[in-house]
Structure 1
Amino acid sequence: MAEALVIVDVQNDFCEGGALAVEGGAALAAELSEFLEDSHGEYDVIVATQDWHIEPGSHFSDSPDFQRTWPVHCVAGTRGADLHDDLDTERIQARFLKGLFDDGYSGFEGRLGDPDRTGLKEGEKEKAVAPADVIEEGAPDLNTYLQQQGVETVTIVGIATDHCVRATALDAADNDYEVRLLKNLTVGVDEDRIAETYEELREAGVELLRSDEL
């Protein structure tokens, strides 16, 4: 039974100093690197998801409500959309880019892509990026990719517990994977919503653990 680790949205804009920072995001990136160093051999597949917004419509707002609308963040090709420097990407086998033209909360909405294909250097990272620059025609979505790898169990970590981690875990359960969420390797925005998210995930059959309980 193949198992996948899905690292959700550990990106610069979701960490301290970013456009939509979540407290503890940078520390989480470093903790995930340690986890990967110690535990990568337990996973057959390791993937990451990234917000990769081009024209996400009403997802962006000059007057965000921080529920359905948000400040501009993770714009495709910019530094803010990059995975955080403290996240060791050596063992990440594939990246799934989501939210190009919509909200893109769930990693299962993402398609296999290569952000490095843009060829943009650090000083150029405000140039427009087209989908074809990073996603090949016919690239699989996350569910298709996991099925191709024979994955039956999905372990989820990342940012933010009460938003994209939640949506990704629920979609994993809806797609009939055995799903685990590692609570100590996620960070969220609102404590009340995190508690509600945990209850919702339990009801969906998601197992909530700490990494030392695996």
Structure 2
Amino acid sequence: MALVARHSHQDNSLSEPGSRRAGHPATGPPCSAEFHPGFAPASEAVDEVLYKGAHSAPKSGFEGSAEDGTSPADWLKVRDITAVDIVGIATDHCVKATALDAVRAGFAAHVLLDYTAGVAADTTHRALGELREAGVSLRPVR
């Protein structure tokens, strides 16, 4: 099963000076980050899209919800899913937050390192240490 998170900013207060983080879509008028065109072939395998950031600037995919309002943890538990593979940008921010929230919610979390990218080497190194300490599995894919 594939569950993906994407930003959906609706709150104009996020466009205040200093509120935009690197790598995030511009905020202001209601907008939704589109998936990269290269993701199109894989999008057919997506079972649910979670929207995060409608009124805040969250990092974790577990802070989002499905269109019907279902939380990610509930969506996974209803389907008897006990482990999650996590990929994305940025390893040291959103990926880290999602993996830590997955563990807190009772899931086994695996970060697929070949499909992540960090913002900076030092913060990525620290994040990987935090993930290991929390019991997150860090897996190369290749």
TM-score, length basis structure 2: 0.88
Name the residue aligned to 2:44.
90
Structure 2: runs of 5+ lacking an equivalent: none
The one of 148, 152, 155 equivalent to 2:78 is 148
Letter in 2 for 1:105: K
Superposed, which structure 2 residues align to 1:22-33 within 5 Å? none
Change (3 A) 1:164 1:60: farther
8 Å Cα contact 1:159/1:186 also seen in 2: yes
Name the residue aligned to 1:70.
20
Larger Rg: 1
Change (3 A) 1:100 1:158: same
- RMSD across aligned positions (CA): 1.7
Structure 1: runs of 5+ lacking an equivalent: 1-44, 114-135
CA–CA separation in structure 2 for the residues paired with 1:147 and 1:74: 33
Give the length in aligned residue pairs.
Answer: 136
Change (3 A) 1:191 1:60: farther
TM-score, length basis structure 1: 0.59
8 Å Cα contact 1:56/1:99 also seen in 2: no
| 1:88-141 C-alpha deviation (Å, 9 max, x unpaired) | 21101100001111122110111112xxxxxxxxxxxxxxxxxxxxxx4xx211
Q: Report the 3-state secondary structure (helix = DSSP H, G, I; strand = E; otherwise coil) of the residue aligned with 2:57.
A: coil
8 Å Cα contact 1:56/1:102 also seen in 2: no
The answer to whether 1:195 aligns with 2:125 is yes
Name the residue aligned to 1:99.
53
CA–CA separation in structure 1 for the residues paired with 2:72 and 2:100: 14
8 Å Cα contact 2:10/2:31 also seen in 1: no
Structure 1 stretches of 4+ with a deviation exceeding 3 A read 74-78
CA–CA separation in structure 1 for the residues paired with 2:129 and 2:82: 23
Offset at residue 73 of structure 1 (A): 1.9
Greater RCO, 1 or 2 (C-alpha within 8 Å, sep 6+): 1
The answer to whether 1:208 aligns with 2:107 is no
Q: Report the 3-state secondary structure (helix = DSSP H, G, I; strand = E; otherwise coil) of the residue aligned with 2:125.
A: helix
Name the residue aligned to 1:51.
7
Q: Report the 3-state secondary structure (helix = DSSP H, G, I; strand = E; otherwise coil) of the residue aligned with 2:109.
A: strand
CA–CA separation in structure 1 for the residues paired with 2:12 and 2:93: 16
8 Å Cα contact 1:160/1:188 also seen in 2: yes
Sequence identity, in percent? 31
